[in-house]
């Protein structure tokens, strides 16, 4: 299945802004994080298709995963 991964703020340093990946079925967000060497503590906010998600959640074909470090503003 195909997954779009988007990285933001410090997480994109040395990695990428946005990438498409072919992943086996049953891939979880944690698998994606592992593949990118992003510790869970740095992936503070994760969206799948614009909804908050957790590392253990499964991904599905055509999902967009957006990963942010801890950030704030206002």
Residues that bind another protein (CB under 8 A): 6, 8-10, 12, 17, 44-45, 47, 49-52, 66, 68-74
- Residue 17 CB, shortest distance to another protein, in Å, is 8
Strands 64-68 and 45-48: antiparallel
Q: Measure the CA–CA gap between 18 and 16, rounded to whole angstroms.
A: 6
What dihedral angle (degrees, nearest 10) is formed by the CA atoms of 54, 59, 64, 69? 30
Q: Return the number of the residue (14 or 24) whose C-beta is nearest another protein.
A: 14
- Residue 32 CB, shortest distance to another protein, in Å, is 15
Q: Return the number of the residue (28 or 69) whose C-beta is nearest another protein.
A: 69
- Residue 44 CB, shortest distance to another protein, in Å, is 6
């Amino acid at each position: 299945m195909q997954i779009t991964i988007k990285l933001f703020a410090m997480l994109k340093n040395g990695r990428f802004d946005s990438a498409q990946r072919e992943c086996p079925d049953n891939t979880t967000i944690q698998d994606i994080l592992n593949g990118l060497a992003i510790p869970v503590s740095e992936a503070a906010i994760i969206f799948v298709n614009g909804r908050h998600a957790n590392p253990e959640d499964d991904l599905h074909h055509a999902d967009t995963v957006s990963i942010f470090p801890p950030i704030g503003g206002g």
